[in-house]
Amino acid sequence: MMDKEKLRQADLFSGSVICLLGLWIISQALKMPMKDSWGGVQNVWYVSPGIFPLFVGAMITLLGALLIRMALKTVGIAGARAVFAWLISSELARYLTSAPMHRFYATVAVFIGFVFIDIPRIDFFLGSVLFLAAFITMFYLDDAVLLKKLLGCYLAGTALTALYFLFGLSARLANIIEFPDDWLTLGFIVVYCAYAWLLTRNDAALRRKCKIALIVAVAAPFIIGPIFKYFLLVPMPTEGLVTTLMDAIRYGEF
């Protein structure tokens, strides 16, 4: 367990990052209109959509500042200098390549891919399967070497997907084939799952874990998703290949 002084030094760094995050949120919230008119009616400032993120950003900044204050009371200026020295030393590079940081990178990468690439563009069922397959296999297998390999595979596929959208290939292929984005994601899922299975094929325990992870990744969206769509009548964020097929089955459109 880390001693109190090292924990407070870590708090000094964390508090600074939290403060910067809060200030960034405030800067984005200030770009939202505080007053506007609709149909000739002038809205008052306290109904602005920017109020809530402005409040959240202010609270995050305040809490970060309080964390810095508590840390400085314990470690003092000398402790702050030690933190700064560590940030510009080779120790930081070693820490950034450590196993705990790889787990952090994996978490961030999978969530960013799901939220910013998949949800707005890919059929929600396929995007969810990809997200769960990547997230569960990376962490449930509990192997640092496998995590790095699986993360590399996921990052490569996500980078290719991002370039696919960036260069406008989606619109071009849409004139040739229906749901090109979903077919691309389906291929990504197959490649990722096959790679995960290939990595674990020689270890019975890991192979069993991989099998469970992939079953859960596929089953969960198709158990929970239809409940929301067909019983609670909640539309999916993006409906494409799979949703169209499910609609055809549900409403007998064959």
End residue of a domain, out of 36, 60, 90: 90
State whether 183 and 110 are in the same domain: yes
Tokens of 21: 């995050």
Distance, in Å, from the CA atom of 202 to the CA atom of 219, rounded to the nearest integer, reads: 25
Contact 128, 225 (CB under 8 A): yes
Classify 55 as helix, strand or coil: helix
Are residues 209 and 132 part of one domain?
Answer: yes
pLDDT (tens, 9 = 90+) of the chain, 254 residues, equals: 445 666 677 777 788 889 998 899 888 888 877 665 555 555 555 556 677 788 888 999 999 899 888 888 877 777 777 777 777 778 778 878 888 889 989 999 999 999 999 999 999 999 999 999 999 999 999 899 999 999 999 999 999 999 999 999 999 999 999 999 999 999 999 999 999 999 999 999 999 999 999 999 999 999 999 999 998 888 889 999 999 999 998 887 54
Residue owning tokens 């705990």: 100
206, 217, 216: which is closest to 145 by C-alpha?
206
Sign of CA dihedral 138, 143, 148, 149: negative
Residues 153 and 62 in one domain: no
Q: Which residues span the domain enclosing 61? A: 4-90
CA dist 71 to 8, 105, 118, 130, 200, Å? Answer: 5, 26, 40, 41, 45
Answer for the pair 220, 128: CB distance below 8 angstroms, yes or no.
Answer: yes
The pLDDT score that the predictor gives to residue 167 is 94
Do 116 and 240 share a domain, yes or no? yes
* Overall domain count for the chain: 2
Entry field: residues in the chain: 254
Let me know whether 77 and 164 are in one domain.
Answer: no
E strands, 63-216, in order:
none
Q: What is the pLDDT of residue 220?
A: 95
First to last CA, the chain: 62
Sign of CA dihedral 228, 234, 240, 243: positive
| Residue that terminates a domain, selected from 65, 90, 115 | 90
Last residue of a domain, one of 31, 60, 90: 90
Question: Nearest-CA neighbor of 106 among 78, 139, 83?
Answer: 139
Looking at the structure, do residues 206 and 235 belong to the same domain, yes or no? Answer: yes
Indicate if 115 and 231 belong to the same structural domain. yes
Same domain for 206 and 229?
yes
User: What HEC string does 114-152 produce?
Assistant: HHHHHHHHCCHHHHHHHHHHHHHHHHHCCCHHHHHHHHH
Residues 83 and 149 occupy one common structural domain? no
Amino acid present at 245? L
Same domain, 52 and 106: no
Q: Kindly state whether residues 61 and 136 are assigned to the same domain.
A: no
pLDDT digits (tens, 9 = 90+) for 146-185: 999 999 999 999 999 999 999 999 999 999 999 999 999 9
The pTM (predicted TM-score) of the whole model is: 0.77
The tokens of 250 are what? 């549900």
- Note whether 65 and 163 are same-domain residues: no
Q: Interhelix angle for 124-140 vs 180-200, to 10°?
A: 20
User: How are the residues of the chain apportioned to helix, strand and coil, as percentages rounded to the nearest 5?
Assistant: 80, 0, 20
